Amino acid sequence: GSPARVLSGEDLLLFLCHMNKEGVLTVRHDGEAINIGFRRHLLVDAHCEASDRLILERLERGGVADADALGRLRQAREETGLPLPRILEDVEWQSAQAIGDAVAAGVREAVFRLLLWESGEFQFTEIAVDLNRFFAPIDGQGLVMDLTRQVDEYRELLRGIGPLDRRPVRTTQAATEPAGPAEQYVLSLAGGPASVQDLLAAAP
């Protein structure tokens, strides 16, 4: 059918999980697109441009992929148009656990971004969805409820920051200390964006 307006990503995801359908949900908003694969109430895939960038960052910082491997992955993505988690399935890796962790982080990133959207166009296509060998299907309702709490905290944080487009990004001395994967990813972006708004758009 034709695309329809969606006001709440949370309600949409919970509804699809409740309907126990298999297929792919595509949501578009402001030039971006997020795709989420369902098998009944299970979420088996979720990806977007930002989640692919996050996966590449995790692979690089975790020492799983060197510069040459990252370049080949980016080239394959450009040439095939496939999402990065699907491309990774066709590559032999020494650390399946590290790949799985990166793909799982990408799935959470894509769903988190969808929950942030207050409007958009969506279309659900009932088709068979293949499983990814690096990502075990998870309960969609549980993930949505978990991330919804984080979305609320994120929005509250934004209200406390104030006008994002006029706040420059600066790192502090503490930023040079060891950090977890999420913090390392943000720090790797902090040198480029001109404002907090730019940084949050790249890595909410």
Q: According to the model, what pLDDT value does residue 87 have?
A: 95
Residue of 22, 31, 33, 179 lying closest to 110 (CA atoms): 33
- Confidence tier at 6 by pLDDT (50, 70, 90): very low
Helices (H), the chain: 9-19, 49-61, 67-80, 84-88, 96-116, 140-161, 181-189, 196-202
- Confidence tier at 1 by pLDDT (50, 70, 90): very low
Give yes or no for a contact between 106 and 87, defined as CB atoms under 8 angstroms apart: no
Q: According to the model, what pLDDT value does residue 141 have?
A: 94
Q: According to the model, what pLDDT value does residue 2 have?
A: 43
> How many Cβ atoms sit within 10 Å of the Cβ of residue 100?
18
Tens digit of each residue's pLDDT (9 = 90 or more) over 170-200: 565 555 555 566 566 556 655 555 555 565 6
